[in-house]
Amino acid sequence: MHSPDSIRRFLFEHYPVRGYVVHLDSAWRAACEPTDYRPEVQQLLGEALVSATLLAATLKFEGTLTLQLQGPGPVHLLVAQCTDRHAIRGVARYRGEEIGAGSGGQLRQLAGEGRLSVSIETNAQTARYQGIVPLSGGDLAGCLEAYFASSEQLPTRLWLAAEADRAAGFLLQRVPDHERAGVSDAEVDELWNRVGHLAATLTARELLDLSEARLLRRLFAEDDVRLFSPTPVFFQCRCSRERVTGLLRSLGEPEVQSILDERGSVEVRCEFCNRAYAFDRIDCAGIFRAPESTQASVRLQ
């Protein structure tokens, strides 16, 4: 049995090659619980959440990493986030009627000719883009490999799998090799190519089902691989009444007033966790009476 809801690092002894294995179980089920996704969309969201977890493990930052897919296709927006503490959440917005039968969940058919962006919001709430890559065919793993090649300049290979009750991912990365001792570039090239070919034989079923140790033994039986202890990954939403208040404030008083006139109260439901925030007339009046200085822009994502 794999370590549930966890990420585990491994490395090849004496070589500048490392990797990670992610398994999402209850964290994944909690993340997709608020929405009744179509299977193709759910699979893409699962792969994106696994990807965000792998990216968060490989990049050094404090805050929240956001993987965002945007495109003209049926899945027009998909957001997957992972914090430096490995708290995940995600949401996909899509037009189900546009997903053709037998699309097979191909990224290009779901998202169209869109783009994939990776950004990091630090705790000071400033977002900085790490990189953007076009969805130029292939799958999500292929797009992320292109991201690593262009933005991080680290040769990286990824394998992703997701189904209704769990999701998993596997990453191999060749890192700058200043710490290695007594291994030539040619030997590192040879190992990198060999382990890439071996990992390419990994099936989605094996990735989802095998324990981390068995998976590594199955792929790299001849190599000296060190597997580290699991780090927990969990579902956690960052929404709060304060953030929703900021959102209403940025909508402006006339807009909020028109919702009040129409419905008698304002209800905002968080897309990530389905939590509802209700504001009556008195609450809304209070929002717009607040002093100017607190009117900072607040982002929901």
CA distance linking residue 89 with residue 54, whole number of Å: 14
Taking CB under 5 A as the binding criterion, the range among 160-168, 197-205, 247-255, 275-283 that sits at the site for Zn ion is 275-283
Answer yes or no whether residue 237 interacts with Zn ion by CB under 5 A.
yes
CA distance linking residue 186 with residue 200, whole number of Å: 21
Residue 35 CB, nearest approach to Zn ion (Å): 12
Cα 146 → chain centroid: 16
Residue 178 carries which DSSP code? T
CA angle 69–72–78, rounded 5-degree value: 25
Residue 207 host element (H or E): helix 204-209
Taking CB under 5 A as the binding criterion, the range among 33-41, 142-150, 220-228, 235-243 that sits at the site for Zn ion is 235-243
Answer yes or no whether residue 272 interacts with Zn ion by CB under 5 A.
yes
Answer yes or no whether residue 91 interacts with Zn ion by CB under 5 A.
no
Nearest to 105 by CA among 132, 78, 131: 78
- Number of residues in contact with Zn ion under rule CB under 5 A: 6
CA distance linking residue 185 with residue 224, whole number of Å: 18
Answer yes or no whether residue 273 interacts with Zn ion by CB under 5 A.
yes
Nearer to Zn ion, 180 or 243 (CB): 243
Answer yes or no whether residue 143 interacts with Zn ion by CB under 5 A.
no
Answer yes or no whether residue 270 interacts with Zn ion by CB under 5 A.
yes
Nearer to Zn ion, 133 or 270 (CB): 270
Nearer to Zn ion, 140 or 239 (CB): 239
Q: For the chain, report the end-to-end CA distance as a whole number of angstroms.
A: 34
Residue 228 carries which DSSP code? P
CA distance linking residue 96 with residue 40, whole number of Å: 10
Out of 57, 78, 88, 239, the residue judged to bind Zn ion by CB under 5 A: 239
Residue 275 CB, nearest approach to Zn ion (Å): 5
Q: What is the sign of the dihedral through the CA atoms of 233, 235, 241 and 246?
A: positive
Taking CB under 5 A as the binding criterion, the range among 1-9, 118-126, 204-212, 237-245 that sits at the site for Zn ion is 237-245
Nearer to Zn ion, 207 or 270 (CB): 270
Beta-carbon contacts of 292 under 8 Å, excluding residues fewer than 6 positions away, are none
Answer yes or no whether residue 235 interacts with Zn ion by CB under 5 A.
no
Answer yes or no whether residue 65 interacts with Zn ion by CB under 5 A.
no
Q: Which residue in the block uniquely carries the two structure tokens 């009744």?
A: 36
Taking CB under 5 A as the binding criterion, the range among 129-137, 143-151, 224-232, 267-275 that sits at the site for Zn ion is 267-275
Nearer to Zn ion, 158 or 239 (CB): 239
> Which residues would be at the binding site for Zn ion (CB under 5 A)?
237, 239, 270, 272-273, 275
